[in-house]
């Protein structure tokens, strides 16, 4: 596979949008493949524009992650600070 296909496939996998919109995910892969082929600047620009639009839709359709988002990061930091404050208050 080419560089564009690899990156797009990786993002689709991370988003898990191939589960919610498998057809659209395949369109993205196909557009990425056409970008990896040397078809000329006009074809590349057209494929890039279409791929950008498809990826926007895939990102919207991606399932919401259950953990690992910024809210979870903030909660983990808060719990760590509270534990440290409790330890300090206990004389540790």
**Which 8-state DSSP code applies to residue 62?**
S
Higher pLDDT, 29 or 64: 29
Give me the residue spans of the domains in the chain.
3-61, 66-92
pLDDT for the residue numbered 22: 93
CA dist list (Å): 69 to 11, 56, 60, 61: 16, 19, 16, 17
Say how far apart CA 19 and CA 12 lie, in whole Å: 9
Average pLDDT, the chain: 88
Instruction: Answer whether residue 40 shows pLDDT above 60.
Output: yes
Say how far apart CA 17 and CA 24 lie, in whole Å: 9
What would the two tokens of residue 63 be?
Answer: 């399932």
pLDDT for the residue numbered 65: 63
Higher pLDDT, 1 or 25: 25
Name the most confidently modeled range: 36-40, 43-47, 64-68. 43-47
Say how far apart CA 24 and CA 53 lie, in whole Å: 11
Cβ-count burial of 27 within 10 angstroms (0-12 exposed, 13-18 middle, 19+ buried)? middle
């Amino acid at each position: 596979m080419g560089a564009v296909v690899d990156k797009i496939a990786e993002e689709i996998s991370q988003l898990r949008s191939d589960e919610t919109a498998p057809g659209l995910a395949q369109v993205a892969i196909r557009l990425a493949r056409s970008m990896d082929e040397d078809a000329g600047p006009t074809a590349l620009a057209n494929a890039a524009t279409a791929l950008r639009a498809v990826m926007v839709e895939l990102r919207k359709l991606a399932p919401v992650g259950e953990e690992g988002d910024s809210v979870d990061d903030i909660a983990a930091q808060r719990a760590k600070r509270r534990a440290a404050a409790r330890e300090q208050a206990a004389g540790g």
